[in-house]
Amino acid sequence: MKDTSTCDARSTDGLSATRSIVLCFDGTSNHFSERNTNVVKLVELLSKNDPSTQMVYYQTGVGTYSHPGFWTSITEVIAKKADEAVAWYLYQHVIDGYRFIMESYREGDEISIFGFSRGAYTARALAGMLHAVGILPKHNLEHIPFAYQVYAGKISAQQSREWRPTGDAGLGESQEGLLGALNIEKNEHDRERSSSNPDEVNPKSYKMTFCTPVKISFLGVWDTVGSVGALKRETLPWIEYNPSVIHFRHALALDEFRGHFIPSIWDHGRSVRGSQTAVEVWFRGSHSDVGGGSPLTDRARRNPVSRFWDKVFIRIYSLFGKRAFPFPRWVVGRGRLPDMSNISFRWMMNQCISTPNVRIRLDASSLARYEKAGILAPPIGRSGHTPLGRALDTYDSTKEPYEATEDSPWWWLMEVLPLPKPSQRNVDRSVVETTYWPNLKAGRRIGNQPVDQIFLHRSAHELQQSGYRYRAKFKNTPQVRD
């Protein structure tokens, strides 16, 4: 049996009995392969051998599902491309994750959700569904499609747009005026509604009648795209903001320019101060440089591979730190090729582990391998990097950003065609507007306010001192942080 360790360095008696449910959603067309994303890395690190303490769910990316009735490889390819183009399986991705929680959840369990790219959108949609309708009782599988339609319906979308924190509500929502199934305030308009139409069902009343309200302890995502579906935009409620998420962490790409990868930024103006945290940090690189899975450049492949001194220096430094010697940056990582996605991966792991009252259990042997390979910097679990972590960031920054348009004419075509995509000029994040104007490789535009918890990662800031200029354009220059 594998030895396991717990991420939570504060380990209190109150948390020791808490079971964790961790769901991980991969990016577009991503699954286990030789070029794995940060989601796969996370799944490898998670403890999976004891369901009494932690349950883990992994879902491959949008565009990798194939219907059981599709027998030939040709139809499977068509189904995948249709999924990428019009979000054919978005509904299926969300309810599959919901079903796992519904069948696994018991009172007191802690829910954490992670995702990358459109998998990040799925993760946030699942969190939105949990907020809107809660968790159905176990084994009520036939009710899930209706519950999803209630979540995705007009009333839910309206509530998502209009929700604002109140001075006395705290994290969550007031139940004042809700009667669940006991509706004693029916009027003429209600008679005209179809009682079987989920689009006309109030999600709050549905949740009160059938479901259990829950909180999402930690929602960690890499570079969420603003919608799913390249040819037909599919958007859902409670994506830009979710009152039921206690801790939200988002790693974003400074150099992504594709119009169909416009990011979904958190609406920081609605965060509940004191009981909810939301932090978004921007990293050098493109979409897959931040979330993982980008091909290696020729420059990276020419990197010398020598592990001996890596092992010596990392071992000594992990034992003695600065008391022994300043860590020599030139030797860091020479036993592996540089990978920019490791920077945001280290940041996310440190955020997850150092955040109060979040418990995610890691497999000790997997953790040791990642530390030995120089992907994680021991000891993990600090809000800021150690000197070793900073040295690893510097090494991984030597990889050049990946540009998808250089490998695929499809992305060039998408940049010049008038296809629907999220507008970058919309300042109201509670309303996602659509534009058909060609993007033409324009960098991302972020209408951030000074009070927003939006930051530039220190590794990108250090590269700026050497002449690096990122593509993204911020309304207000973000502060720098680890």
Quickly list DSSP for 347-405: HHHHHHHHSTT---EEEHHHHHHHHHTTSS-SSP--SS--HHHHHHHHHHTTSPPP-GG
E strands present in 117-163 = none
DSSP state of 152: H
Query: 53, 66, 114, 54: which is closest to 92 by C-alpha?
Result: 66
CB 332 within 8 A of CB 394: yes
> pTM here?
0.84
The label of the residue with tokens 């990582």 reads 333
Helix crossing, 387-396 with 308-320: angle to 10°?
150
3-state SS assignment for residue 220: strand
Q: Count CB neighbours of 117 within 10 A.
A: 30
Phi and psi, residue 71, nearest 5°: -90, -30
For the chain, helix, strand, coil in percent to 5 are 35, 15, 50
275 Cβ partners below 8 Å, 6+ apart? 170, 171, 246
Q: Which H or E run includes 132?
A: helix 118-133
Q: Residue 443: what residue type?
A: G
Strands (E), 168-324: 216-222, 245-253, 277-283
* Structural domain boundaries in the chain: 4-303+442-468
Distance CA 269, CA 267 (A): 5
Q: Give the N- to C-terminal CA distance of the chain in Å, as an integer.
A: 36
Containing 456, the helix (H) or strand (E) segment is strand 454-457
Helices of type H across 34-72: 38-45
Spell out the per-residue pLDDT of the chain, length 482, in tens: 445 445 443 333 444 468 999 999 997 654 444 568 999 999 999 999 999 999 999 998 755 555 555 555 666 566 666 666 556 678 999 999 999 999 999 999 999 999 999 899 999 999 999 999 999 999 999 999 999 999 999 999 999 999 988 754 455 555 545 556 665 555 555 555 555 788 889 999 999 999 999 999 999 999 998 766 655 567 899 999 999 999 999 999 999 988 878 899 999 999 998 899 999 999 999 999 999 987 765 444 444 444 455 555 555 555 555 444 444 544 555 567 889 999 999 999 999 988 988 999 999 999 999 988 889 987 666 555 577 888 889 889 887 888 766 666 776 677 778 877 777 766 555 566 777 887 777 889 999 999 999 999 999 999 999 999 999 999 999 999 98
307: which 2 tokens?
Answer: 């592990």
DSSP 106: -
Question: Tokens 């879902």 correspond to what residue?
Answer: 59
